[in-house]
Structure 1
């Protein structure tokens, strides 16, 4: 095996991850833009409104994303003052990530189906929310792909995880936090 192959394999994995991220993000955005939104017929699942359901479930996703950050830092020995990571922490990390992803699906479906991508009238908040929401699924797919790839540069996986976390925070700030700060906390 030549010394060029590992570098080529690393570049290929990174390019593939980037293409998967971009492809999924763009596909969701295009669907959201071309789809005719129908917010009025969406379920609220026992909450006072669909928006309230999305805000509360989105808040749980944000909390799980924070748990992902803490467990990742702990797993890689980057959590200040923490003892060595227990053997089962990897399971906790994967479990919180899986749960966050699954809980995000109905929120995203309601957003895309009910509002579409950056609905009219235009606002910077809804554009940022739409971009962050679409980018989250692309970043998540790329992170999962990179987790299962060997010989990556040390910065690749933390960068992918940071992108996932950043998109969750942006989506939450432009939706749940906005709703809670304008209408208050309610069920």
Structure 2
């Protein structure tokens, strides 16, 4: 007598396999309702590595700028002014040349601020292009070049003076201006500089230059008239 083989066990938790498309979702009666639900994987808590800001570079730039400002002040204090150092063709004397060159530097500084605002999208109604960056760089370079004869006249012909409030403020601003300018140039060579450093340094340089122009060129033109 032949023994009949046993029936195969039921497939799955509760029944035989389905004849439907296996690519479809698993029917609910195949699921074990007692299984532990696992939360979906998210990346919200994943640590993302970023390089820390280069604070040491900023401190180093400030230190270099401070040394430049102090060195200029010390030289202006110990050097005895000669009374004359700048004599350009077209101007009656060094003071007139200084007043006009300072005004040119002041106008170029305004142009640099406007171009910087355009590049940062802060100038309403104006879209910055490649030429805006060129204008920004060269307006700053020419402004500093124009200011160098003025600085040479102040240091060599006049020196660091403090006989009244305006003159003292002008002397201090002159030292601060070149110290801040050097600080900004050093910051631009550093990597991972915090985003706020360059705008703050640029604003400080512009503020110092405005103060220089007000205490020198504007005062000169107000006292002696606009002439060459």
> Aligned pair 1:91/2:134, yes or no?
yes
Moved over 2 A (4+): 3-7, 40-46
Q: Deviations over 1:100-127 (max 9, x none)?
A: 01110000000110110125xx111011
Map 1:109-124 to 2 at 5 A. 109-119=152-162, 122-124=163-165
Query: 2:52 corresponds to which residue?
Result: 6
Higher RCO structure (Cα 8 Å, ≥6 apart): 1
Aligned equivalents of 2:111 and 2:85: distance in 1? 34
Residues 57 and 41 of structure 1: CA distance in aligned 2, closer, same or farther (over 3 Å):
closer
Gaps of 5+ in 1: none
The answer as to whether partners of 2:85 and 2:156 remain within 8 angstroms in 1 is: no
> Aligned pair 1:32/2:76, yes or no?
yes
2:213 maps to which of 127, 152, 172: 172
Query: 2:35 corresponds to which residue?
Result: none
1:52 maps to which of 80, 89, 96: 96
SS of the equivalent of 1:88 reads helix
Q: Write 1 or 2 for the structure with the bigger share of helix.
A: 1
Map 1:42-81 to 2 at 5 A. 42-81=86-125
Gaps of 5+ in 2: 1-48
- The CA RMSD measured in Å over matched residues stands at 1.6
Larger Rg: 2
Aligned equivalents of 2:85 and 2:61: distance in 1? 36
Aligned equivalents of 2:84 and 2:185: distance in 1? 35
Q: Deviations over 1:69-99 (max 9, x none)?
A: 001111111112222x111221211111110
TM-score, normalised on structure 2? 0.75
| Residues 140-149 or 171-180, more deviating | 140-149
Residues 154 and 177 of structure 1: CA distance in aligned 2, closer, same or farther (over 3 Å):
same
Aligned length: 180
Aligned equivalents of 1:25 and 1:41: distance in 2? 21
> Aligned pair 1:127/2:168, yes or no?
yes
Q: Once the 2 structures are TM-superposed, how far is the Cα of residue 34 of structure 1 from its aligned partner?
A: 0.5
Residues 57 and 185 of structure 1: CA distance in aligned 2, closer, same or farther (over 3 Å):
same
